[in-house]
Structure 1
Amino acid sequence: MKNLTSMIDIQRSPNSKINDTNFDNLVFGQVFTDHMMECDFKDGEWQTPVIKPYGPLSLEPSARVFHYGQAVFEGMKAYKDKDEKIWLFRPDQNFERINKSSKRLAIPEFPKEYFFNALEELLKLDKDWIKKGFGNSLYIRPFVIATEAGVSASAAKEYKFMIICSPAQSYYSGEVRVKFSEKFSRAADGGVGFAKAAGNYGAQFYPTNLAKEEGFQQIIWTDANTHDYLEEAGTMNIFFRIGDKLITAPTNDRILDGVTRKSVLTLAEEFNIETEVRRVSVKEVVEAAEKGELKEMFGSGTATVINPIVGFGYKDQKFELPKLEDSYAKFFKDKLMKIQYNEAEDKFGWRYEVK
C-alpha cells in the first residue's frame, strides 16, 4: 500500500487526559482519547487528512446533516496483545461498508489509502489508550457528516470524514432480555437498513424505550410487511440455537451485514456446527421455546462481540432460556477474542497489525 503518512497533517495534543481516566470503571462511549482525525470534502475532492487534539467542531446551523440526515458511521476495535502489538479485526470490511453506506446516502466514498494510513497514525499516537487484557480494547468510530451550509433539499457538496476513539471494556453488563416487536420495524425493503446510517439508530430509540418500560433491554425487530419474521436487534445481529442447529436471518437491504455475524458463520463451518441462513419466523421460535428446543439466543456485533440473551417476550408471553455450560455463545466469543487478541492462530487472515 502506498505510504501517504507524509500527506497527513499531524497536530499533537500538548496535554494528555490519560492519567485522569479511570480504566477500571469505563462507561462505554463516554471517554475519548487525546486525538481525532478529520478530513474535509470540498471542491469535488477529499482534502489532506488532519490528526489533531480531540475537541468540539464548529458547524453552520444550516449544515445539511442537521436537516437531511446525511450521516453514516462504522464501529471497529483495536486490541493490544501481550507483546504490546496493536491489532485490528477485519478492518477491510469496515472500510468497504462505510463506503457502501456512504454511497446509499449520496456521500462521496473515502479513499482507502487515506483511511488506513490516517487510522494507523491515529492509533500509534494514542497507543497508550489501548490496554492489554481480554475485554479491554479501543473502540473506533469512523463517521461522515454533510457540512455544506444551506437548507435546500438536495445532497450536500461538502462533507467531513472523522475518526474518534474511546477506550472500552464490555458493552453490556448484566442479563439481557429482548422483546419481539409486534408493531415497529427497523427498516423496509428498498430502504437504508443495510447501511449504518445514523437515522436507523435514532428511529429505534422510542420503541426501545417502550420495551425497557416492560423490563426488556433490547428489541428484536420484525419485518415491516407482516411482523412475522425476526430480523435483527438495535445494535446486534441475532442468532438462534434450536436443538444443535444455529439459525440466523439472511442479510438483505433491511439487515446490516455484520462483520462479527459473518465471522461466527465462518467459525461455525470450521468447527462443523450446523447452520442455516434463512428467514426465522416468530412462530417457529416461540414454539421451539415452548417445547424446550430453543437452547439459546445471542447477539453479535463489534461493541458486544457475542452477547447471550437470557429471555424474550412476545405479546403477553415471557420465556426464559436454559443456562448452558457449553453454550455456542461462550464458544464463539472465546474463539473470536483469542483471534482478536493474537492468542490463537488466525487461519482466515482476519488480523491486521498496526505497525
Structure 2
Amino acid sequence: MARGPASVPASPWWTPSVHADRRPLLLARNRIEAAVRGYFADADFVLVDPPGLQRSPGNETHLHAFSTLAIGNDGAGETLYLHTSPEFSMKKLLAAGEQRIAAIGHVWRNRERSALHHPEFTMLEWYRAEEPYDAVIADCIALVRRAAQVAGTTELRFRDRGCDPLAEPERLSVADAFERHAGISLFETMDAEGNTDAEALAGQMRGRGLDVPRDPTWSYLFSRVLVERVEPVLGNGRLTVLDRYPAAEAALARRVPGDRRVAERFELYGCGVELANGFGELTDPVEQRRRFRLEMDEKQRLYGETYPLDEDLLAALSLMRPTSGVAMGFDRLVMLAVGARRIEDVLWVPVVGGAQ
C-alpha cells in the first residue's frame, strides 16, 4: 500500500504532482472515516454534531484557543471561541438523556504545529453512559484495528517505529511507567490525597540526570519526564494503554475508588504517538468547578490569560449519569495506518503557514 512521502515536498500541496503523491493517503483517510462511522453505527451510537463556537473553549491550563468576535443584531460584540474539543456540548447532551453518542468533527488548538500537531484537526469523541471505563478502552483498540484493516496493513508505522495492532495491548499504570522507564517513584511525590510535592519530584529527576529549572511546578516536571523518558517507548511493537493518571493531571476524570492519588484517565499509544485520551468522567459540579479554577489560575500564572467557565456545563453535570468518554485524534490514526511522516500528508487541505 502507499506510504507517506519521505520528506517535506518543495512545492505547495496543490501542485498536481504533489497532490498525486498524497491522493492515495487521502483516499485511505476517507475509507477509514467510513469504517469509523460504521463502527459507531454497529455499536448503537447516535452521531451528533456539536457547534464549533462556544463561550468557553475548555478549561485546561495548556490548551490554547482561537477567539473571535460575535456581533449581534444590535451591533454589540461578544467574545466566542472555537472549541478545543466537543466535550462540553456532548456532556450537555448526556445530561439531556442521551446514552451513547459520538462526534467526528473539526477542533482548533492554538500554539500547536508540528509533525503531529495541526491548528485545525479532526477529533473523534464518544461517550458511554452507565458503562465502565474499560468499555471505551476496548472501543479504542477496536477502532485502531479496524483502521489498519481498511488501510490494508498489518503494521502501524510512524517513521522508524512499528506496532502490531492485532497484538495484545500492553496496559501500564503511569506510576509503573515512570518507575520502569525513568527510574522515578511518583507516589513518593504525592500524599494520600494526591497533593503533589514538586521538590520531591525534582530531587528524583536530578538523581536521574534530568535538568530541573528554578522553581518548577510539579505538573511541569511530570510533563518533562513523560515526554522525554516515557512516551517515546510506549506503543512500540504493540499498543500501550497508559492508565491511572495522577489525580493532579486529570482535571476532568473521577478518582479511582480506594486510591485518591490517581484518577480514571488513560491514553492510548502506538509507535510512540498518543492516539487517544479517555476518562471515567467527573460528574460532581462542585469538584469540577474547583478543578477548573485551579487550571485557570495556573493558566493566568503561565500565560497571562484565562477562559470563562461554562456555567451551563457545570449546571448540567448534576444531571449526568456515570459516564466514560474518549477523544481520539483521527488524523493521527490515519497517519499510523498509512505510514505518513507528517500530519499534513493526510489532510485534504492543510492550514496555510506556521511551523512544519
Q: Same fold (TM over 0.5)?
A: no
Q: By percentage of residues, which structure has more strand?
A: 1
TM-score calculated relative to the size of structure 2: 0.27
**Relative contact order: is structure 1 or structure 2 higher (C-alpha 8 Å, sep ≥ 6)?**
2
TM-score, length of structure 1 as denominator length: 0.27
